[in-house]
């Protein structure tokens, strides 16, 4: 509901002149309500900042006003600074000044919070003198996720209000706190008893006036009084940040700003915060993270989703209870939907159920959910060994063995039992979905839903769109993804779709380096330094070398014989060195250790392969390693966009960030390429092309964009 709409008989303030559209002022008796009305989320754009400043000044000057309530119209209080303004010249009034003015008000100011009070939104609330929050409110300082720090007094006021430890934890994690937690922390003073936050805020303000409680500037709060504890918290945060946020720019600046809060007068701390904020604002990491923020939202805007209405999904069937099927079942159960799991016999069904149960046991053990939540989820899970049990479900997701004949057999059965209009989805990661759809009499209902393992954890869902699928089935898939809290990307049909096709190229480029002289350990280290959580060979060891081996054998008959093929990984697999699960792969894992150590036998084996192939090893710098791997990925990604497999470059970015560990602060490979300059990427390609014209052939899309002086971002228009 519209909080301001339920206000008791509003009357315009006498000196209201200059009321902006985004900020309205209404006098309720002697309490002035300042309502922020800037859809969709009340971001603090220049108009809101101006309106807020004018309103607070007017209130101060108006003898008829005894107290002020700031409230948000719509679903949120204020979601923070307007992210779309970043990177453009900042326009006054700046938010820090607006917050200071609120705090300096001579009349008590109450922030009445419902929905999101995030970033600059929470900073506005912290500048107010009193805070009341509705039950469902979400409060947080998520700036770190955008490569920023709270830049409107948040780094100075938050620790003064709730102490250094809690403030640092909020700012470094960027997480949202519930209203209850905010009360416990001291971030808010009280909780609203009803859903009508405006009425409650007004009551609070009237109570303050009646009991003659004046202003209460947060800058004077004493949360940092225990100096030793504050100092310890700051040192602990600095240490943890150095390891946990490796490579990130803004977290250390947050710690620095909080240290200033402890050691310096408030205004000096504010000045330092402003300087650090502007440094963060200028950083390429901020640009990458803001790109990521919008790309995730844009990716779900696909032509089918705006052209067609999704079909309702109230029940889901899953065929196959292996690791993938069980993970998908958990993801669906977590969204509150009932699941029917199908396996070929009772034993397999029992294992599938146990799989699902184990995932929930893990969540209970970690304290993420309680026993009741587990029981509720498990109660939504049914199982059967007969396809007939799927007769009434709205959506079936097939997650059986990755083999065309097996998949086709499943879809023939689904075609037989499913009700007309049911959506039939396959979780294949590379097979031709058009062919799978051809096994049914209803190809318009068949789509790909490519989950990533573990499916209940990984955010990415590739929605793979075969030629004959109906638009409303595509729309249904995107709606379903939203219900599962997934980040969804539209992909076309090809071997590996977007993600795995790029993974293959990434690994091939790494293998070339390996054979040409780099060690797997150097390659992994270089890619970690670039920002990946793991290097390519660590990932192979983790997933199991046998998986890639099977795929290589499968592709062998169709492989282009002119393409260079490196056999090092095959040599390892022939020895049964499949990675962590066998105790050795590219690394040695002594006694089940999870982090591997370098293996001299692997190095000797690589050396033998080089000799056998007549390669004279050369050395590569870490920068060259990154350059080659990233250039290969960007080039193939350009082909993927050109072929329409990805709608836009941003779809590639989202896929690699959420499914493959590409460092978010670089905004994905396409954003990274734009940052480098596409002409530089093309120059690298031309250089490598001389070594291997087939693998390094520049994508015509890159050539064309460079010719036009354009870059990938020019293709990132919304397709919704």
Q: Does residue 119 bind ligand 3H9 (CB under 6 A)?
A: yes
In DSSP notation, 40-64 reads TTT-B-HHHHHHHHHHHHHHHH-TT
Q: Which is nearer to ligand 3H9, 4 or 81 (CB)?
A: 81
Q: Does residue 143 bind ligand 3H9 (CB under 6 A)?
A: yes
Q: Which is nearer to ligand 3H9, 123 or 398 (CB)?
A: 123
Q: How far is the CB of 301 from ligand 3H9 (least distance, A)?
A: 7
Instruction: Look up 123 and say whether it is catalytic.
Output: yes
Tell me which residue has tokens 């587990």: 374
Q: How far is the CB of 507 from ligand 3H9 (least distance, A)?
A: 34
Q: Does residue 41 bind ligand 3H9 (CB under 6 A)?
A: yes
Q: How far is the CB of 692 from ligand 3H9 (least distance, A)?
A: 42
Tell me the torsion sign for CA atoms 648, 649, 654, 660: positive
Q: Does residue 477 bind ligand 3H9 (CB under 6 A)?
A: no
Q: Which is nearer to ligand 3H9, 195 or 570 (CB)?
A: 195
Q: Does residue 142 bind ligand 3H9 (CB under 6 A)?
A: yes
Crossing angle for the helix pair 700-708 and 678-689, nearest 10 degrees?
140
Q: Which is nearer to ligand 3H9, 82 or 413 (CB)?
A: 82
Q: How far is the CB of 268 from ligand 3H9 (least distance, A)?
A: 18
Number of separate helices (H) and strands (E) present in the chain: 29, 20
Q: Does residue 146 bind ligand 3H9 (CB under 6 A)?
A: yes
Q: How far is the CB of 83 from ligand 3H9 (least distance, A)?
A: 4
Q: Of the listed 103, 123, 343, 627, which one is catalytic?
A: 123
Report yes or no: 451 and 329 within 8 Å, Cβ to Cβ.
Answer: no
Among 81, 168, 342, 706, binds ligand 3H9 (CB under 6 A): 81
Among 13, 43, 504, 629, binds ligand 3H9 (CB under 6 A): 43
SS (H, E, C) 627-675: HHHHHHHHHHHHHHHHCCCECCHHHHHHHHHHHCCCCHHHCCHHHHHHH
Instruction: Look up 343 and say whether it is catalytic.
Output: no
Q: Does residue 269 bind ligand 3H9 (CB under 6 A)?
A: no
Q: Which is nearer to ligand 3H9, 14 or 91 (CB)?
A: 91
State how far the Cα of 508 lies from the Cα of 518, in Å rounded to an integer.
13
Q: Does residue 292 bind ligand 3H9 (CB under 6 A)?
A: no
243-262 positions binding ligand 3H9, by CB under 6 A: none
Tell me which residue has tokens 């022939």: 574
Q: Does residue 89 bind ligand 3H9 (CB under 6 A)?
A: no
The backbone torsions φ and ψ at residue 464, rounded to the nearest 5 degrees and listed phi first, read -100, 125
State how far the Cα of 311 lies from the Cα of 201, in Å rounded to an integer.
41
Q: How many chain residues touch ligand 3H9 (CB under 6 A)?
A: 26
Q: Taking contact as CB under 6 A, which single stretch among the options 28-36, 146-154, 449-457, 615-623 is the one that binds ligand 3H9?
A: 146-154
Strand order in the sheet with 138-140: 116-118, 138-140, 176-178
Q: Taking contact as CB under 6 A, which single stretch among the options 13-21, 145-153, 309-317, 370-378 is the one that binds ligand 3H9?
A: 145-153
Q: Which is nearer to ligand 3H9, 147 or 325 (CB)?
A: 147
Q: Does residue 84 bind ligand 3H9 (CB under 6 A)?
A: yes
Q: How far is the CB of 134 from ligand 3H9 (least distance, A)?
A: 15
Q: Which is nearer to ligand 3H9, 111 or 118 (CB)?
A: 118
Crossing angle for the helix pair 164-173 and 250-263, nearest 10 degrees?
160
Q: Taking contact as CB under 6 A, which single stretch among the options 72-80, 598-606, 629-637, 707-715 is the one that binds ligand 3H9?
A: 72-80
Structure token digits, residue 317: 């069937």
Q: Taking contact as CB under 6 A, which single stretch among the options 51-59, 112-120, 305-313, 471-479 is the one that binds ligand 3H9?
A: 112-120
Q: Does residue 484 bind ligand 3H9 (CB under 6 A)?
A: no
Report yes or no: 102 and 125 within 8 Å, Cβ to Cβ.
Answer: no
State how far the Cα of 20 lies from the Cα of 695, in Å rounded to an integer.
58
Q: How far is the CB of 123 from ligand 3H9 (least distance, A)?
A: 6
Q: How far is the CB of 284 from ligand 3H9 (least distance, A)?
A: 17
Q: How far is the CB of 124 from ligand 3H9 (least distance, A)?
A: 10
State how far the Cα of 474 lies from the Cα of 444, in Å rounded to an integer.
10
Tell me which residue has tokens 């309205």: 24
Among 297, 555, 611, 613, binds ligand 3H9 (CB under 6 A): 297
State how far the Cα of 555 lies from the Cα of 636, in Å rounded to an integer.
18
For residue 176, what are the β-bridge partners?
140
State how far the Cα of 154 lies from the Cα of 177, in Å rounded to an integer.
15
Angle at CA 485, nearest 5°, toward 479 and 491?
60
Among 37, 100, 123, 627, binds ligand 3H9 (CB under 6 A): 123
Q: Does residue 275 bind ligand 3H9 (CB under 6 A)?
A: no
What kind and span of H or E run contains 395? strand 395-398
State how far the Cα of 109 lies from the Cα of 216, in Å rounded to an integer.
9
Report yes or no: 120 and 81 within 8 Å, Cβ to Cβ.
Answer: yes
Structure token digits, residue 491: 């992909």
Q: Does residue 154 bind ligand 3H9 (CB under 6 A)?
A: yes
Q: Does residue 548 bind ligand 3H9 (CB under 6 A)?
A: no
Q: Taking contact as CB under 6 A, which single stretch among the options 56-64, 113-121, 417-425, 433-441 is the one that binds ligand 3H9?
A: 113-121
Q: Which is nearer to ligand 3H9, 121 or 496 (CB)?
A: 121
Among 31, 32, 79, 295, binds ligand 3H9 (CB under 6 A): 79
Q: Does residue 116 bind ligand 3H9 (CB under 6 A)?
A: yes
Structure token digits, residue 482: 């939203």
Q: Of the listed 47, 54, 103, 143, which one is catalytic?
A: 143
Structure token digits, residue 550: 């099977």
SS (H, E, C) 166-217: HHHHHHHHCCEEEHHHHHHHCCCCEECCCCCHHHHHHHHHHHHHHCCCCCCC
State how far the Cα of 631 lies from the Cα of 637, in Å rounded to an integer.
10
Residues annotated as part of the active site: 123, 143
Chain residues in the site for ligand 3H9 (CB under 6 A): 40-41, 43, 76, 79-84, 95, 116, 118-120, 123, 142-143, 146, 148, 150-152, 154, 294, 297
């Amino acid at each position: 509901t519209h909080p301001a709409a339920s206000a008791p008989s509003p009357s315009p303030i006498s000196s209201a002149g200059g009321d902006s559209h985004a900020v309205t002022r209404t006098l309720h008796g002697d309490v002035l309500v300042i309502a922020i009305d800037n859809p969709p989320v009340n971001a603090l754009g220049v108009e809101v900042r101006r309106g807020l400043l004018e309103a607070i000044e007017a209130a101060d000057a108006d003898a008829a006003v005894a107290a002020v309530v700031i409230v948000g119209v719509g679903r949120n209080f204020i979601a923070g600074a307007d992210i779309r303004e970043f990177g453009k010249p900042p326009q006054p009034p700046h938010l820090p000044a607006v917050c200071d003015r609120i705090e300096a008000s001579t009349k008590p100011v109450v922030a009445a919070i419902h929905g999101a009070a995030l970033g600059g939104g929470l900073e506005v609330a912290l500048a107010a003198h009193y805070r009341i929050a509705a039950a469902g409110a979400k409060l947080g300082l998520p700036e770190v996720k955008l490569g920023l720090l709270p830049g409107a007094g948040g780094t100075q006021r938050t620790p003064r209000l709730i102490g250094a430890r809690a403030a640092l934890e909020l700012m470094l994690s960027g997480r949202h706190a519930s209203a209850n937690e905010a009360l416990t922390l001291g971030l808010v003073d009280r909780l609203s008893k009803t859903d009508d936050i405006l009425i409650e805020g007004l009551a609070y303000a009237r109570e303050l006036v009646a009991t003659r409680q004046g202003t209460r500037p947060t800058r004077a709060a004493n949360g940092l009084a225990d100096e030793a504890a504050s100092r310890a918290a700051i040192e602990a945060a600095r240490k943890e940040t150095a390891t946990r946020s490796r490579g990130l720019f803004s977290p250390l600046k947050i710690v620095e700003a909080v240290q200033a809060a402890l050691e310096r007068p408030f205004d000096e701390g504010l000045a330092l915060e402003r300087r650090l904020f502007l440094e963060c604002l200028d950083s390429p990491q901020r640009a990458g993270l803001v790109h990521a923020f919008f790309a995730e939202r844009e990716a779900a805007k696909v032509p089918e989703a705006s052209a067609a209405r999704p079909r309702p999904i109230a029940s889901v069937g899953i065929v196959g209870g292996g690791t993938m099927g069980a993970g998908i079942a958990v993801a669906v159960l977590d969204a509150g939907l009932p699941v029917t799991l199908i396996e070929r016999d009772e034993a397999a069904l029992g294992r599938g159920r146990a799989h699902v149960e184990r995932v929930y046991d893990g969540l209970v053990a970690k304290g993420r959910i309680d026993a009741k939540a587990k029981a509720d989820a498990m109660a939504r899970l049914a199982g059967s060994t007969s396809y007939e049990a799927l007769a009434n479900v709205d959506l079936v997701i097939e997650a059986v063995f990755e083999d065309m004949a097996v998949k086709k057999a499943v879809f023939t059965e689904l075609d037989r039992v499913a009700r007309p209009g049911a959506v039939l989805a396959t979780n294949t990661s590379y097979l031709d979905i058009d062919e799978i759809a051809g096994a049914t009499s209803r190809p318009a209902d068949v789509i790909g839903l490519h989950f990533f393992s573990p499916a209940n954890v990984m955010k990415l869902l590739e929605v793979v769109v075969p030629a004959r699928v109906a638009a409303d089935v595509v729309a249904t898939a995107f709606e379903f993804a939203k219900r599962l809290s997934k980040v969804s990307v539209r992909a076309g049909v090809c071997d590996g779709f977007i993600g795995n096709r790029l993974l293959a190229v990434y690994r091939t480029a790494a293998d070339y380096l390996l054979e040409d002289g780099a060690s797997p350990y150097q390659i992994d280290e270089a890619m970690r330094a670039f920002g990946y959580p793991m290097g390519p060979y660590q990932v192979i060891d983790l997933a199991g070398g046998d998986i890639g081996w099977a795929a290589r054998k499968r592709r062998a008959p169709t492989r282009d014989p002119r393409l260079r093929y490196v056999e090092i990984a095959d040599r390892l697999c022939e020895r049964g060195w499949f990675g962590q699960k066998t105790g050795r792969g590219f690394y040695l894992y002594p006694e089940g250790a999870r982090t591997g150590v370098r293996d001299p036998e692997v190095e000797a084996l690589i050396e033998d392969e080089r000799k056998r192939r007549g390669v004279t090893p050369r050395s590569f710098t870490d920068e060259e390693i990154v350059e080659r791997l990233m250039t290969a990925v960007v080039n193939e990604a350009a082909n993927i966009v050109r072929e329409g497999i990805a709608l836009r470059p941003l779809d590639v970015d989202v896929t690699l960030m959420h499914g493959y560990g590409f460092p978010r602060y670089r905004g994905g490979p396409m954003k990274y390429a734009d940052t480098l300059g596409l002409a530089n990427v093309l120059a690298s390609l031309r250089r490598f092309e001389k070594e291997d014209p087939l693998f390094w052939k520049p994508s015509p899309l890159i050539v064309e964009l460079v010719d036009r002086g354009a870059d990938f971002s020019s293709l990132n228009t919304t397709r919704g």
